[in-house]
Amino acid sequence: MKKQRLKTSTTHIILLSFIVVIMIGALLLSLPISSADGKATPFVDALFTATTSTCVTGLVVVPTVTAWSVFGQAVILVLIQIGGLGVVTIMSALMIMLHKRMGIGDRLLLQDAFNLNSLSGLIRFVKKVVFGTLIVEGIGALLYMTVFIPEFGAKGIWISVFTSVSAFCNAGIDIIAENSLCGYALNPIINIVTCALIILGGIGYIVWWDVIRLIKESRRRKVRFFRDLTLHSKIAIVATLVLIFVGAGLIFAFEYNNPLTMKDCTVWEKIELSFFQSVTTRTAGFATLPQENLTNASSIICLLLMFIGGSPVGTAGGIKTVTIAILFASAFASIRNKQDTEMFGRSIKKEAISKAVAVTSMSFIIMFVSAVLLLAVTDAAALDVMYETASATATVGLTRNLTSSLNTLGKLIITFTMYLGRVGPISLAIAFKGKKEVQNIVKNPTEEISVG
């Protein structure tokens, strides 16, 4: 009973920590010092911006580059970093830096925040996460500087740091232009660095350490790289590659002759644009193509990619690659009348399948209800609304030019959707881990029902 209360309080702490950070951010952004014109920002807009930053979504009601002062942009950057790493991770890192002892409650909170299965090595895990994040973001910033410093001068340093953190945390907020990265659609450095940061942030820290482990072991023994990876890493890597390349291929085909996007581009430029679009829909939110100009077919593909998102224990949102892979494997196992769901020669636990169904169902319900409510308070096209709500639920940040035209009710709906999209899957993960039903000796009778 005590453990169950502890787990429940852990859920509440994580949910409330996001609310506290969002409210502090909203208050700071509503101050005159945060706006570019020195006037107080309406609280609804400040709340929306604080939520999209903390939940690393990227939808914005006012242009980040022109609406906010350097102070306001700094607040947004801090919120993005906190949201990407997680409030609990940041607090744990501070405790470690101050040499404060972490009790069992702190460790359980950290375990749940990362959705890990063991308490062992948590302190080391936090150190590696923070250290690894800063290194990758630092390298990204240095590479961005090769483009932005020649163009913007000293200001290019700030732009490079902001863009690198935003890309790695899969936030998609930038301070370059009002049309995101459309002005750099064919710049190879911007494309490669941004895609690399998005993928590294979205693949998940578990995969990082697994790959690094094999690299270290390869120095003293022969390593069969893919075969020696953990099952989680295999699923995450394969699912990520399949989604990126299949998505890019479909977008390439559907946009090939679209005069509003790629028709006048060379084949190589079309490949470059398609690849970036496929990567960014995996919850990053940067755009090199105006999303409202995409064909309906491409928009539906992007909707699906956004809903799936990145991999677990990373900076990305969505239902996650491992989740969708488990659902497909379970479905194929049922079609073949197999009792066990298997992937790469390993059986998947029933609990993992149940969790995948729950996370997917919850995310779909959030997206569906949000879409219905948004349709009720706006006169926008259904596809634009579905794109907006899928982007908010999966914390992506892409929009078909709808966000900036939302009324107050629409802004509040999307704000709440972004929050639920970020914390909902975390809550479910903790609930599945912490709540075990006591087996009853007497069970209710079983009765056959028709399915499908």
So what's the pLDDT on residue 277?
Answer: 96
End-to-end CA distance of the chain: give it in Å, rounded.
39
Residue 373's CB is within 10 A of a number of other CB atoms, namely 19
Q: Which residues contact 281 (CB under 8 A, 6 or more apart)?
A: 247, 302, 305, 306, 396, 398
So what's the pLDDT on residue 205?
Answer: 86
So what's the pLDDT on residue 368?
Answer: 95
User: 451 lies in a domain?
Assistant: no
User: 385 lies in a domain?
Assistant: yes
CB 275 within 8 A of CB 224: no
So what's the pLDDT on residue 425?
Answer: 64
> Which residue in 128, 152, 156 sits closest to 142, CA to CA?
156
So what's the pLDDT on residue 17?
Answer: 81
pLDDT in tens, 105-129: 656 656 655 555 555 667 777 788 8
User: 361 lies in a domain?
Assistant: yes
pLDDT in tens, 366-385: 999 999 999 999 999 999 99
Picking from 123-132, 167-176, 384-393, which range would have the lowest pLDDT averaged per residue?
A: 123-132
User: 447 lies in a domain?
Assistant: no
User: 328 lies in a domain?
Assistant: yes
Question: Using CA atoms, how far apart are residues 88 and 138, in angstroms rounded to an integer?
Answer: 22
Query: 387 or 122: whose pLDDT is higher?
Result: 387
So what's the pLDDT on residue 84?
Answer: 84
User: 449 lies in a domain?
Assistant: no
> Which residue in 385, 397, 393 sits closest to 359, CA to CA?
393
Distance (Å) of CA 87 to CA 7, 18, 284: 17, 7, 19
**What is the distance of C-alpha 189 from the center of its chain?**
23
Question: Using CA atoms, how far apart are residues 400 and 294, in angstroms rounded to an integer?
Answer: 9
Question: Using CA atoms, how far apart are residues 374 and 159, in angstroms rounded to an integer?
Answer: 33
User: 9 lies in a domain?
Assistant: yes
Query: 268 or 102: whose pLDDT is higher?
Result: 268
Is the pLDDT at 58 greater than 60, yes or no? Answer: yes
User: 443 lies in a domain?
Assistant: no
So what's the pLDDT on residue 326?
Answer: 94
Looking at this protein, which amino acid is placed at residue 353?
A: I
Query: 220 or 277: whose pLDDT is higher?
Result: 277
CB 422 within 8 A of CB 317: yes
Q: Where are the beta strands (DSSP E) in 308-424?
A: 342-343, 346-347
So what's the pLDDT on residue 5?
Answer: 45
If one counts the domains in the chain, the total is 1
Confidence of residue 8 (pLDDT cuts 50, 70, 90): very low
Picking from 27-36, 209-218, 394-403, which range would have the lowest pLDDT averaged per residue?
A: 209-218
pLDDT in tens, 80-106: 999 888 766 766 666 666 556 666 565
Domain of residue 134, residue span? 2-434
So what's the pLDDT on residue 109?
Answer: 56
So what's the pLDDT on residue 358?
Answer: 87
Q: Which residues contact 215 (CB under 8 A, 6 or more apart)?
A: none
pTM score, two decimals? 0.88
Residue 232's CB is within 10 A of a number of other CB atoms, namely 16
